[in-house]
Amino acid sequence: MSSVLTKLRQQPAWIALAIVIVLTLWIASGMLFAGDAAKTNPNKVEKHHVSPLVKVTVSLTHAEEVNREITLYGRTEPDRIATLRAEVKGLVQEIYVQEGQFVAAGEKILRLESTDAANRLLSAKAMLKQREMELDGAKSLGKQGYQSQVTLAQAQANLAMAQTEVNNLQLAISKALITAPFAGVVNERFVEVGDLLRDGDQIASLVDLDPLVITANVTQGNVQGLQVNQLAAGRLVGGEIVEGKVRFISSVSEPGTNTFKIEVAVPNPGQKQLAGMSTELALPLQKTWAIRITPSVMALDEEGNLGVKTVVDKHVKFIPIDIVKSDSQGVWLSGMGQQADIITLGHGFVRDGDEVDAVYADETNQQVIQ
């Protein structure tokens, strides 16, 4: 026995071979016994691999006919802006308005000093009267044959020149008083009393805020659905809702963006709403059937698309969202037919095509998903 052990120690490869043979026989025997057990009770093995169906809560929702809307982001602007300028030279004598003040059409804004023009007008009127007398005398002498036609024509020309001078001076005096061309707000004033103005110098900026105009840009895919005079609603930064009508749709797209400018005129009595405010603009398009849901029932598919999971014939069907409009009560989606079984609980544990155990929610919650 000792001689055998001595030979094995001298040849370790035989030891390794013996261990491999023993392990192989042991593993083979286990597989054989497992196969016999499967043949003896095959139903037990099959039941071990069957998973129970995932239970989900669904709600039967019905569609309603609603207006499809597009939402745009724009800003409020004045209906018109005018920069008042001096038309004659003169010193600023009196200012009647302050910045931010509302003025009616025709209300006085500013007066220029016009003493020199008034004095020259008196002289021009005296000259005009003299020219009239000269013309009358020339006509009288002409009838008696003592005046030539040339002298009569010269008298007529002198009278016309005198009349033109009077008219020019009267116009200059009238233009010394600057009035508002339309009702609006004095947004900015550029002069003070004592300033010397020349012809064309700026005096004030006047803005008309009634109606208030909301401008925005609409994509080329939606512009065909809009028309002039259609209703629109805007939500201002403060949350106030204003309503108006589309008054302008550009016929040429903006370079670089391929979007079209639109204008919505909103009544603004008293011109209380201000220009330059960011505004969310909603414009209704054609009517369509849509189902209202809350954002909590939305889910993502395997590709990351946002949609809603429904149950059709006990299987999950993923429907990508097509938003018609949104309001304070939820989001309106189209593309789901007249009604749909929408998964409200458990949509995060199932995928498109999975068979599920669907349980309906309470009947009182079937119209609107909570």
Query: Residue ranges of the domains in the chain?
Result: 2-45, 54-66+288-365, 71-79+209-286, 83-207
Hey, CA dihedral for 105, 107, 111, 117, is it positive or negative?
A: positive
Checking 285-288 for CB contacts under 8 A at 24+ apart, the result is 285/67, 285/68, 285/69, 285/70, 285/222, 285/225, 285/226, 286/67, 286/68, 286/225, 287/65, 287/66, 287/67, 287/68, 288/65, 288/66, 288/67, 288/68, 288/324, 288/334
Say if domain 71-79+209-286 classifies as CATH 2.40.30.170. yes
Compute the average pLDDT of residues 288-299. 85
The CATH class of the 54-66+288-365 domain is mainly beta
Residue 321, pLDDT above cutoff 50 = yes
Q: Place 370 in a pLDDT band, splitting at 50, 70 and 90.
A: very low
The predicted structure's pLDDT at residue 336: 83
In angstroms, rounded to a whole number, what is the distance separating the alpha carbons of residues 92 and 191? 8
Q: Place 364 in a pLDDT band, splitting at 50, 70 and 90.
A: very low
211: cis peptide before it, omega within 30°?
yes
Q: Among 248, 246, 201, 252, which residue's Cα sits nearest to residue 87?
A: 201
Among 2.40.50.100, 3.30.750.24, 1.10.10.10, 1.10.287.110, name the CATH number for the domain at 83-207: 2.40.50.100
The predicted structure's pLDDT at residue 15: 64
pLDDT (tens digit per residue) in 260-275? 999 999 999 888 889 9
With 0-12 / 13-18 / 19 or more C-beta atoms within 10 angstroms meaning exposed / middle / buried, residue 276 is exposed
* Three-class HEC string of 282-324: EEEEEEEEEEEECHHHEEECCCCCEEEEEEECCEEEEEECCEE
